[in-house]
Amino acid sequence: MNMRMIVVSLLLTLPAMLHAQSPSKEALGREVDEYRQTVHAAAVTFLNRQLPAAERIRAIEPHKVLYDEQQVEQFKSVVQDAREPAEVRAAALDRLVRHVPGDPRLNQLVVQWLTDPREPLPLRRAALRATGILQFSSGRAPEFLQKLLDDPLPQFRVFAFTRLIIHGDPRAQEKLIRGLEDPGQESVPAPTAIAILSMAPKKEFYPAVFKVLRQTHDDATRLEAIRAIGPYAEARPTLIAISRDANENESFRETALGALYAGDRDNIVSYVEPILASGNAPPGLQAAGIQMTIDIRQAMAFRIRRKRADSYDRLVARLAREAGDPDLRGVARQYLDSVRPPL
């Protein structure tokens, strides 16, 4: 029995304890013992094969970790028993995730359930949850995730692409890029593909995403492309144009401005100033832009170098006095308080 795990689980399961007076050592010990007995009783109910599956699962549902090593072994037997209902085996695996790396048989079952579309869906989903929690000790995504890139279920494809892309897998990245270039080959919807690609360590996807940005008529895809393309210098004029276009939806303009900040933050003032000077930009967009410039200009090194206010400082100062929107006035005043331009 791992007493430390019991204590941690108890504190997580009984948050009210954190708001009460600090219990004595004896009182905490009693709480631990009571909780251990509660989990043990729930596990006994779960392991009773004479009970209906729903009742067994309902008993163990509130408890995510087992503390009795004998019961751990019994739960392993449930997972491995093909005569048990799939939902019961899945519930058992959910309580054994931390034991998977050290148990070859459990590990093998998790991989089998995860990668074989013929397995019952409850088992596949439990294997997906287990794999999602586990960290890959080698620092590389395991090869079996490649099988999931063509899985019939979208959630399994998305999971595999995400894990592989984060670990820099070139095959997964190339497959997503092909899907963006040719929708007939897409493995996941374009917005999802772009969001996943944005997590890649190497940014070979920028040209394909920029092409999508210029060609797509789907709002969700276009918004995700704008969000991902900020560091790509070739896309910067397009992002600038979107941020300044009065005919664009405000969310697209703000996302484009945010992408410029992400990709070229040192020049953010030059991107925000025309928006403030236009006189017709939505207050929310102006406020978002000013906040970005606060982040850059409030640094002490910048303030020390300054000898006089510039046109941007004076523009923000005017908004602090005259803007009709109270939130915009508030952000403009925050700029003056944080940056302290020598007006």
Q: Which of 134, 157, 184 is the last residue of a domain?
A: 134
Q: Whole domain around residue 27: which residue ranges?
A: 1-134
Q: What was the pLDDT predicted at 72? A: 96
For residue 147, CA distances in Å to 150, 152, 157, 260 come to: 6, 11, 9, 37
Query: What are the pLDDT digits (tens) for 264-273?
Result: 999 999 999 9
Query: What are the pLDDT digits (tens) for 9-18?
Result: 544 554 544 4
Residue 230, Cβ density class (10 Å: 0-12 exposed, 13-18 middle, ≥19 buried): buried
Shared domain for 123 and 241, answered yes or no, is no
Query: What are the pLDDT digits (tens) for 236-248?
Result: 999 999 999 999 9
Query: What are the pLDDT digits (tens) for 98-140?
Result: 999 889 999 999 999 999 999 999 999 999 999 988 765 556 6
- pTM of the full predicted structure? 0.83
Nearby residues of 177 by Cβ (< 8 Å), 6 or more positions away: 197, 204, 205, 208
Q: Which of 134, 168, 196 is the last residue of a domain?
A: 134
Evaluate if residue 283 carries a pLDDT over 70: yes
Q: What was the pLDDT predicted at 22? A: 54
Shared domain for 43 and 93, answered yes or no, is yes
For the chain, the domain total comes to 3
Q: Which residues of 167-191 are buried (b: 16+ CB within 10 A; e: fewer)?
A: bebeebbebbbebbeeeeebbbbbb
Q: What was the pLDDT predicted at 3? A: 45
Distance CA 10, CA 29 (A): 11
Nearby residues of 89 by Cβ (< 8 Å), 6 or more positions away: 78, 79, 81, 122, 123, 126
Mean pLDDT score of the chain? 90
